[in-house]
Amino acid sequence: MEKKLLDVKGLTVSFNSYLGVAEVLDGISYSLEANSWLGMAGESGCGKTVSAFSLLRLLPDAAVIKSGEILFKGEDVLKKSKRELRDLRGSEISVVFQEPQSALNPSKRVGLNIVESIALHQGIRGNEARKIAIEMLDRVKIPQARMRFSQYPYELSGGMQQRVCIAIALACHPSLLIADEFTTGLDVTTQQEILKLVVELQRQLSMAILFITHDLALISECCDDVVIMYAGQIVEKGKVDHVFQDPSHPYTRLLLNAIPTIARNDETLKSIDGVVPSLIKPPKGCRFHTRCKHMIPGKCDVVFPGGTVRDDAHQVWCHLY
């Protein structure tokens, strides 16, 4: 078995707000092997991004990490100093954000956005840094890389801007790339091109990728493992093929049934009844029980179930098992 690159254990995070304390993550645990893809899926607000940004402690001031461990290459990120975190961010662990327009500095030329990262993490400056930046633009398949180096972000399309963000993230050859909804907002054709590009780069650079998305179809295309989250809890995880071919948790089944397909020829899109509960006063037990047709009174609404191993590559948190 490959050594775990990332091992998150019992991570609990809350947010202080004027309405009260929101229990955003409820003791979640997952791991990621080196050179592999892990997809993290669930409805908006389920805690995917908070989970990922906790890895680099990029949470707002209102956030409190109550308990847990985040082991990266065997070292607990939660125990690292601010200086150690600066060294980790962008070099060992990089992020590609959802909106490239917000991630890129609009007042700096495209190339300087990349050079800044190279200078900060590798100490390389001047012509050598420029050369590396142009090579990275070429590597992410931006045509006329030398010319694009001197352009401003607003002169590029959304797809080109996202390629620049990928170039920045990979310039220092990280061991782990966090891709946070990085294809959202792009048209379908560009989305597929960007995904194909990242798949190629992942193989070339031998890095691991944590892919955050609400699109299960994209996870099925590129990920080795998947984690399904609901309202701050992990309800199912395992190998993509195992989970998608034999979904165990009622929530996972409903998510998969909500994907429109040509084969089903449905007249209307399927949806999940009910609404996501407030995390300020979340339901006790399994937080999905308020929307679940299989809810067992006295169990699901009282205690969160322990993880049940369906097989070596598939685990589910549900009282039905």
**Helix (H) or strand (E) run with residue 3 in it:** none
Q: Which residues contact 18 (CB under 8 A, 6 or more apart)?
A: none
pLDDT per residue as tens digits for the range 145-155: 999 999 999 99
Please check the confidence at residue 256 and state whether its pLDDT lies above 80: yes
Nearest to 57 by CA among 29, 30, 79: 79
Using pLDDT thresholds of 50, 70 and 90, give the confidence band for residue 265: low
Q: Which domain holds residue 208?
A: 4-92+174-316
- State the total domains in the chain: 1
121 domain residue, yes or no? no
What is the amino acid identity at position 268? T
- Label residue 278 left, alpha or beta by phi (over 0 means left) and psi (-120 to 50 means alpha): beta
* Cα–Cα dist 179/294, whole Å: 34
* Cα–Cα dist 294/192, whole Å: 37
Q: Residue 304 corresponds to which tokens in the numbers above? A: 């969160």
Please check the confidence at residue 218 and state whether its pLDDT lies above 60: yes
The one-character DSSP state at 106 is T
Please check the confidence at residue 1 and state whether its pLDDT lies above 50: no
- Section 224-245 average pLDDT: 95
Please check the confidence at residue 138 and state whether its pLDDT lies above 70: yes
36 domain residue, yes or no? yes
Cα dihedral angle (101, 209, 142, 220), rounded to 10 degrees? Answer: -100
- Section 254-267 average pLDDT: 76
Using pLDDT thresholds of 50, 70 and 90, give the confidence band for residue 101: confident
106 domain residue, yes or no? no
pLDDT at 321: 85
287 domain residue, yes or no? yes
> Of the given ranges (98-107, 226-235, 240-249, 273-282), which has the lowest mean pLDDT?
98-107
pLDDT per residue as tens digits for the range 219-229: 999 999 999 99
Of the chain, the percentage scoring pLDDT greater than 90 comes to 71
Please check the confidence at residue 310 and state whether its pLDDT lies above 90: no
62 domain residue, yes or no? yes
* Cα–Cα dist 262/66, whole Å: 45
pLDDT per residue as tens digits for the range 51-95: 999 999 999 999 999 999 999 999 999 999 999 998 898 889 999
Of the chain, the percentage scoring pLDDT greater than 70 comes to 98
169 domain residue, yes or no? no
Residue 228's DSSP bridge partners are 41, 236
161 domain residue, yes or no? no
- Section 98-117 average pLDDT: 89
37 domain residue, yes or no? yes
The CATH number of whichever domain residue 43 belongs to comes to 3.40.50.300
Q: How far is CA 114 from the centre of its chain?
A: 22
Residue for token pair 């300020």? 280
* Cα–Cα dist 280/23, whole Å: 6
Mean pLDDT, rounded, of the chain: 91
